[in-house]
Amino acid sequence: MLIRYWMSTPVITVGKKDSMQQAGILMKENHIRLLPVVHKGGLCGILSDRDLKRASASDATSLDIHELLYLVSKIKVADIMTREVVTVHRDWTVEEAADLMLDRKISGAPVVDDQGQLCGVITTIDLFKATLYITGLKKRGFHLALVLADTPGSIMEIVNVVREFGGRMASILSTYERAPAGYRNVYLRFYEVSRDRIEDMLKVLKGKARLRYMVDHRENRRTLYDKH
């Protein structure tokens, strides 16, 4: 999934000559924690709520409320913003954005186009939304994890069993991470299997794969088949 489909738009920005107070008001009114800083049409910095807190925290304890309000009205965004901006391209995948954000320990990044122009912002909240979408969690069906032999057609064989019991697939994810040699971990999300048939379906699946766990999201029931 490309960032362009999940980034937040339109972009709310702040000028580098604006005050710290103005930036704080923008964040509060728009329920955001990250503001790209622009000057003469170009991106020149990034301002987070953490920057705002850090800028005032050291002096706040020694000031009364009137002095504090005066302080935040005089401090400029340019004085407290982060100048080395980490950006992502709108045609990156959300996984690439997540990898970069995790590596740089940041909660969001401005999104740019081919010309380097600001066109959006991607945050951890946007990544969470994308994850929920791609996994199909909102269907409130079943989530089944199993260990499957890494052979041609093995995943389709499992999917066909789910379909034979009336199930519809919401997502299929697989990985070799933490799987025994010659096997893969497979994660299925499906729905529309009648709950009075689910045990019969699992009996069939147990003859084709090693089950790890199953979650019934509608009933909030969780069954562990192994502890690995």
CA 206-208-213 angle, 5° bins: 45
> What is the reported pTM?
0.81
- pLDDT (average), residues 183-188: 97
Ordered by where they begin, the domains of the chain are 3-132 (3.10.580.10), 136-224 (3.30.70.260)
Is residue 32 a contact partner of residue 25, using CB atoms and an 8 Å limit?
A: no
Q: What is the per-residue pLDDT across 51-89, written as a single tens digit (0 to 9) for each?
A: 888 876 555 555 555 555 666 677 899 999 999 999 999
Token readout for 120 is 């959006």
Percent of the chain clearing pLDDT 70 (strictly above): 92
d(CA 123, CA 36): 12
Cα 51–chain centre separation: 22
